[in-house]
Structure 1
Amino acid sequence: MAETSSRPKHTKAHEVRKPSAEELRWQQETLAPALSKMPEQAIGAPTGINRDEQSGARFTTVSGAEVRRLYTAADLPADFEDELPGQPPYTRGIHPTGYRGRLWTMRQFSGFASPEETNLRYKYLLASGGTGLSVAFDLPTLMGRDSDDAESEGEVGKCGVAIDSLEDMETLFSGIALDRTSVSMTINSPAGILWAMYLAVAEKQGANWAQLSGTLQNDILKEYIAQKEYLYPPAPSMRLVVDTLEFGAHSTPRFNPISISGYHIREAGSTALQELAFTLYDGVEYVEWALRRGLSVDDFAPRLSFFFNSHNDFFEEIAKFRAARKIWYRLMTERFGAQNPRSQWMRFHTQTAGVSLTAQQPKNNIVRVAIQALAAVLGGTQSLHTDGFDEALALPTEDAARVALRTQQILAYESGVADVADPLGGSYFVESLTAEMEKNAFAYFEKLDAMGGMVKAIEHGFPQKEIAEASYAYQRAVEAREKIIVGVNDYRTDEKQPPILYIGESVREMQTAKLKRLRSARSNEAVERSLNALRRAAEQEPQANRGGISSANTMPYLLDCVRAYATVGEIAGALEQVFGSYREVSIA
């Protein structure tokens, strides 16, 4: 960690709760008689939570945090202030008008089979009213493998689109003007490679890079923590991320070169608090590494973005989003001294919780997704993806994708929730949950600081163990029916499975044939020259620079490689020759 970092002070701890005289009178005269006639019964709380002192019932959030029966002014934090939207610390949102000036981007995550088939799905989504694209890549692409690699067998095009070369990226965005379409790409270890391909396609379309908008996920820390799609050891992987931050600051001022992602942390089984704390601290780590490169915080921080999960517990999720903005503001101002207001803003994308979707009674998932999407909107998300109801079974069909998009449109145009900025601001319950999230996140930060930062914590297995324990506790609660999942451990029925999207092996055959043609038609000498230049750049230690892109930045060399039509596997392999590969050490 940088020696110059100043640590933000904790939010003030809650005072001992002191109910008002009116509340005490209500407890005696109204509540007590009601409980004697009808005791409270809570189904859906893990063991170990304190029972209510009067009813004995247990009520908790999805994450296991205790929930009181009633929230009043006595539950507000000691330092609670009546904040306003668009003003620091941005708890109530970064825009003073909320969604009245501009709705969130409706960005549907999509990609399957071949680039040709995915291109048709993108055009369908845009024609149906989608306002942004989000690219899902298949597992071989995510792992830096070509479709004809022996390790790609059985996975080509199955969980996303297969992209092997610039030729595939050209097909993927054929007929889609990249300077008028916001594009997000869910890619991490090979992120620089795929981003270079996207930039090269925009270049071929005649687009000005300065006009491009979108987001590259590019969050390698959460791969080590949760998703496990990594290629190289942590240090060189962090160097590649910093390369993209540096390159983006100078070349793509409207494009976010990273989306610091809690989504996958939550999908791995974390609590809402763990998702919040580990995600924001990952952001701290990226800032620290960029500062070591010699970048100024206000040069790159305005383009940092975040990606959160929206789970089933409606109010807990809203509080998480509100706390995230406040915490990030405090970190950027108190810890890093950011002066540009845009550096202090937390801008985030949200996806509804895939892990909450059930294969049993899949149409129930439409309701789950709607609740989760509403929480994201009330929490102030900048863009949103809603899952298809059939995604526990397979990639979404066109029908499921359309229902998911219509869910967002109904929220935007029929529900009225977009008419007011932060309509739950001032709610005793929501404000109390928000303050608890903030306080407990900073408690996690202290532990991570003491370990020497997130990279060190990952190497010691700390976040991995925390998430594993939370996931185990939740699963035990479900199996004990302390947590009810409708259609799974209660209210079960026999139901016919809906039609699903099936991806066959023909995609691998098609991609393999394309690769064979590509390698015979391109200049293999040019490919080898570009790969050699990339290796030499990767071997250089980046030097701190104050005015331009360091000669050690790999992005210009990646661009040369993709322009020569080197494949994803060839480029990732060249970097692996320099950096080596990574295998996680088992932590007891």
Structure 2
Amino acid sequence: MKGMQEDFSRWQKSYQEQKERQGPFMTVSSAPIAPLYAPDNTPEIDFEKDISYPGAYPYTRGVRTNMYRGRLWTMRQFAGFATAVESNQRFKFLLSQGQTGLSVAFDMPTIMGYDSDHPRAYGEVGRVGVAVDSLQDMETLFKDIPLDQVSTSMTTNAPAAILWSMYLVTAEKQGVPAHKLTGTIQNDILKEYIAQKSWIFPPEPSLRLITDSFAFARDHVPKWNTISISGYHIREAGATALQELAFTLADGFAYVEAGIKAGLDVDDFAPRLSFFFNSHTDFFEEIAKYRAARRIWARHMKENYGAKKEESLLLRFHTQTAGCSLTAQQPENNIIRTAYQAMSAVLGGTQSLHTNSMDEVLALPSEKAVQIALRTQQILAYETGIVNTIDPLAGSYFVEALTRQMEEGAEEYFRKIEERGGVLAAIHQNFFQQEIADAAYRYQKEIEGKDRIIVGVNGFQTEEALEIDLLKIDPEIERNQAQRVKELRATRDNLHVQNTLAALKATALSSDNLIPKIIDAVRAYATEGEIVAVLKEVFGEYREQSVF
């Protein structure tokens, strides 16, 4: 040890005599980075307690014993635009190109609970995702796609229970029993209040819909992930990596507590909780974030919530490369950014991955751009060799020090949240929102001051014409979709629809599980907007409180 310290002192003296290029040297999250990491940076790390082996507590090195030597991550490209017909064609194209799982992007009216013919939907139908108004659209969306052979993720939150019910009935009509279905509904309403702002109902009834989903899936859809607790949108709103980690896990703990409060045993629903993280541009910071997330989750689930099943301790997560890092300037550079971000997600042990397309900062992805994005994952999996050994960065002084730093920082945030009365109270106090706003402001100032160089934006700029063919949504699509909704209402059994909606309202006024009644209404071809309207009558609508 004495010799090691002497060697370090000699290196330090020599380093200080050298000319250092202009910094600052910091992570994307503005955390300072030392010039060198050595054993002194990781003195308290215990291999068995903190690192261990893949598939072993605390799962720092991965949730499966053999990780990618056993099975690659699911290549799940986020897709959806225009109507169910066009999106069905895109799904089939991606599957034909080697994609291994589906991920549905819904348009804003669907996300906000409005049918395509509602006045508030005007100009938005099919623009940022696919329009799904009823079971009719969901059936079209998955036409000729066998739902017992593909895993489907659906990015929807406030109306998640409704769209999930449409999916379950679509599978039923295909002859696929619910117990065979695999997939995920995002269903994470807390991060909507914190970051993305796509809410409908107040927090308390929203949590009821989520815990009802936990209970229904336990009994009927046991392979389904009933929530994807999402840090992605928190990060996209401007949060640091540490804030993404801490706020996402705090939300996760709030869902666990809600499930227990609803009378569920933690081991009945925790194994089907999943997570969704951002993969930003700071290669090592992102890897450390994922490692810390697994370790923190396993420890809290075991020690704080008394989980007994190993599956309850496993933090399984999907990753998407950072949309907020993409630039309109020199958009081909986004291919390179995405490749590095995807590599950090894989080295961090992700279970599934979406790689952004180079044109997503300008429009929904074109077919060519999304194919390149998918090929990025395939080259990573089959050509780079990084999947040949498990967790190759374990033991790196830098990575392990960053992991511990992330862990300690997250625990400090948990204490601050608890001091404010928990997640819901902190939301009402705008704690999360202010922390993210401050981080976003600091990051922007660093770019404007050129303390942080973004290639093509504030450094290495070029004057060139944009030569990318962009996907354009024909305005006629909106008119046609709105007309289909009107035709559906005119041709269905409207008495049956009204009876199912009345039964749903009665259940909402009680404490019974809402999912069976939502399924009944969906099966009768009630529209999403009609179901949401009934629930609004009972639950009301959320209005964010302004804090000055």
Q: Name whichever of 303-312 and 507-516 sits farther off.
A: 507-516
CA distance in 1, matches of 2:46, 2:531: 52
Alignment of 1:545-556 (within 5 A): 552-556=512-516
Aligned pair partner of 2:493 in 523, 535, 538: 523
Letter in 1 for 2:219: H
The answer on 1:120 being equivalent to 2:102 is no
Letter in 2 for 1:499: D
Give the secondary-structure state (helix, strand or coil) at the position aligned to 2:60: coil
For residues 156-186 of structure 1, what are the alpha-carbon distances to aligned partners after superposition, in whole Å with 9 as ceiling and x for unaligned?
0000000011000000000000111100000
Q: Which residue of 1 aligns with 2:536?
A: 576
Q: Which residue of 2 aligns with 1:66?
A: 32
Aligned pair partner of 1:39 in 19, 30, 37: 19
Q: Which residue of 1 aligns with 2:111?
A: 142
Letter in 1 for 2:497: V
Residue 42 of structure 1 and its aligned partner are, at CA, apart by 3.6
CA distance in 1, matches of 2:123, 2:480: 14
Letter in 2 for 1:74: D
Q: Which residue of 2 aligns with 1:220?
A: 189
Q: Which residue of 1 aligns with 2:4?
A: 22
Give the secondary-structure state (helix, strand or coil) at the position aligned to 1:185: strand
Residue 74 of structure 1 and its aligned partner are, at CA, apart by 0.7
* Percent identity for Structure 1 against Structure 2: 56
The answer on 1:279 being equivalent to 2:248 is yes
Residue 24 of structure 1 and its aligned partner are, at CA, apart by 4.3
Residue 81 of structure 1 and its aligned partner are, at CA, apart by 1.4
Letter in 2 for 1:558: I
The answer on 1:513 being equivalent to 2:493 is no
Residue 27 of structure 1 and its aligned partner are, at CA, apart by 4.2
CA distance in 1, matches of 2:7, 2:149: 61
CA distance in 1, matches of 2:22, 2:385: 31
User: Contact between 1:350 and 1:381, CA under 8 Å: does it hold in 2?
Assistant: yes
Q: Which residue of 1 aligns with 2:502?
A: 532
Q: Which residue of 2 aligns with 1:161?
A: 130
User: Contact between 1:351 and 1:386, CA under 8 Å: does it hold in 2?
Assistant: yes
Q: Which residue of 1 aligns with 2:347?
A: 378
CA distance in 1, matches of 2:301, 2:263: 17
Letter in 2 for 1:486: V
Residue 508 of structure 1 and its aligned partner are, at CA, apart by 1.1
Q: Which residue of 2 aligns with 1:204?
A: 173
Residue 21 of structure 1 and its aligned partner are, at CA, apart by 4.5
CA distance in 2, matches of 1:138, 1:262: 20
Q: Which residue of 2 aligns with 1:493?
A: 462
Letter in 1 for 2:422: G
User: Contact between 1:311 and 1:317, CA under 8 Å: does it hold in 2?
Assistant: yes
CA distance in 1, matches of 2:283, 2:2: 28
Q: Name whichever of 407-416 and 509-518 sits farther off.
A: 509-518
User: Contact between 1:77 and 1:432, CA under 8 Å: does it hold in 2?
Assistant: no
Alignment of 1:147-546 (within 5 A): 147-497=116-466, 498-540=468-510, 542=511
CA distance in 2, matches of 1:33, 1:412: 41
Q: Which residue of 2 aligns with 1:52?
A: none
User: Contact between 1:20 and 1:74, CA under 8 Å: does it hold in 2?
Assistant: no
CA distance in 2, matches of 1:574, 1:77: 58
CA distance in 2, matches of 1:561, 1:297: 30
CA distance in 2, matches of 1:296, 1:583: 32
Q: Which residue of 2 aligns with 1:559?
A: 519
Residue 31 of structure 1 and its aligned partner are, at CA, apart by 4.9
Residue 32 of structure 1 and its aligned partner are, at CA, apart by 3.8
CA distance in 2, matches of 1:459, 1:88: 35
CA distance in 1, matches of 2:33, 2:15: 19
For residues 311-368 of structure 1, what are the alpha-carbon distances to aligned partners after superposition, in whole Å with 9 as ceiling and x for unaligned?
0000000000000000000110000010000000000000000000000000000010
CA distance in 2, matches of 1:246, 1:71: 47
Return 5+ residue gaps in structure 1 as ranges: 1-18, 44-57, 543-551
Residue 77 of structure 1 and its aligned partner are, at CA, apart by 4.5
For residues 434-487 of structure 1, what are the alpha-carbon distances to aligned partners after superposition, in whole Å with 9 as ceiling and x for unaligned?
011111111111111222211111011111110010000000111101010000
For residues 204-259 of structure 1, what are the alpha-carbon distances to aligned partners after superposition, in whole Å with 9 as ceiling and x for unaligned?
00001111001000000000000000001111111111111111111111110100
Q: Which residue of 1 aligns with 2:41?
A: 75
Give the secondary-structure state (helix, strand or coil) at the position aligned to 2:69: coil
Give the secondary-structure state (helix, strand or coil) at the position aligned to 1:100: helix
RMSD between superposed Cα atoms in Å:
1.1
CA distance in 2, matches of 1:495, 1:557: 56
Return 5+ residue gaps in structure 2 as ranges: none
Letter in 2 for 1:575: L
User: Which is richer in helix?
Assistant: 2
Give the secondary-structure state (helix, strand or coil) at the position aligned to 1:418: coil
CA distance in 2, matches of 1:182, 1:173: 12
Residue 26 of structure 1 and its aligned partner are, at CA, apart by 4.5
Residue 410 of structure 1 and its aligned partner are, at CA, apart by 0.4
CA distance in 2, matches of 1:399, 1:77: 49
CA distance in 1, matches of 2:2, 2:427: 46
Residue 495 of structure 1 and its aligned partner are, at CA, apart by 2.4
Letter in 1 for 2:275: F
CA distance in 1, matches of 2:247, 2:355: 23
Residue 500 of structure 1 and its aligned partner are, at CA, apart by 0.5
CA distance in 2, matches of 1:323, 1:437: 6
User: Contact between 1:537 and 1:553, CA under 8 Å: does it hold in 2?
Assistant: yes
Aligned residues: 544
Give the secondary-structure state (helix, strand or coil) at the position aligned to 1:99: helix
For residues 407-439 of structure 1, what are the alpha-carbon distances to aligned partners after superposition, in whole Å with 9 as ceiling and x for unaligned?
000010000111111110000000000011111
Letter in 1 for 2:47: E
Letter in 1 for 2:4: E
Residue 79 of structure 1 and its aligned partner are, at CA, apart by 3.5
Are the structure 2 counterparts of residues 20 and 147 from structure 1 closer, same or farther at C-alpha, using a change threshold of 3 Å?
A: farther
Q: Which residue of 2 aligns with 1:9?
A: none
Letter in 2 for 1:224: Y
Q: What is the TM-score with the length of structure 1 in the denominator?
A: 0.91
